[in-house]
Amino acid sequence: MTISVAGFEDFSAAEAAWWRLLNDQQRLDYRGPDSELRTQNNSERVTRFLESRIRQGRLILARCEGELVGICTISPDGFLLDSTVQVWEIADVWVEPHARRKGVATAMIKHCEHECNMRGASEVRLAVYALNEAGLGLYQSLGYEVGAYTLKKNLNPTG
């Protein structure tokens, strides 16, 4: 397995994986039918997003025998003030279903931690849905601990 920072030659494979991630996330964070996700507007947004991540060297890929099997992103967090603690965020973690439970995500996250550290971070943070057992298991196995809760409330209950 190789883990690397994506280049523009990786765009097509990364984009395809990205849509699989977005569709899969619907299990835990429903935003409407799959068919309505991949509109032209949304496709253009995803393209711009991925291009900017690649340009900034913030899209990380895992490959096995040349095949892309995992993606994730790293970003500096948006803390407004000068601070002595530099925090980066890891997000958009996706491993292709056939490549799971083989250590791909573990290798990607460790690579991300190293990249963030090299870019000045002394701490990394990430978010995971409360019902995402695989994600929770992954991050627990890597020593992550709870730092915050996000809360939600449905404003249009259907009865």
Ligand X SMILES: CC(C)(COP(=O)(O)OP(=O)(O)OC[C@H]1O[C@@H](n2cnc3c(N)ncnc32)[C@H](O)[C@@H]1OP(=O)(O)O)[C@@H](O)C(=O)NCCC(=O)NCCS
Binding site for ligand X (CB under 6 A): 24, 93-95, 100-106, 128, 132-135, 137-138, 141
Angle, vertex CA 74, rays to CA 68 and CA 80, nearest 5: 165
Question: CB of residue 39 vs ligand X: minimum separation in angstroms?
Answer: 22
Name the residue whose CB lies closest to ligand X.
137
At 98, the amino acid letter reads H
Question: Is residue 77 a contact partner of residue 89, using CB atoms and an 8 Å limit?
Answer: yes
Nearer to ligand X, 57 or 137 (CB): 137
Nearer to ligand X, 20 or 55 (CB): 20
Nearer to ligand X, 84 or 101 (CB): 101
Question: CB of residue 59 vs ligand X: minimum separation in angstroms?
Answer: 15
Tell me which DSSP letter residue 28 carries: T
Nearer to ligand X, 100 or 123 (CB): 100
Return the CA Rg of the chain: 16
Angle, vertex CA 127, rays to CA 30 and CA 111, nearest 5: 120
Question: CB of residue 128 vs ligand X: minimum separation in angstroms?
Answer: 4
Buried b (16+ CB within 10 A) or exposed e, 39-66: eeeeeeebeeebeebbeeebbbbbbeee
Q: Where are the beta strands (DSSP E) in 49-101?
A: 59-64, 67-76, 87-95
Question: CB of residue 150 vs ligand X: minimum separation in angstroms?
Answer: 12
Question: CB of residue 155 vs ligand X: minimum separation in angstroms?
Answer: 25
Nearer to ligand X, 20 or 48 (CB): 20
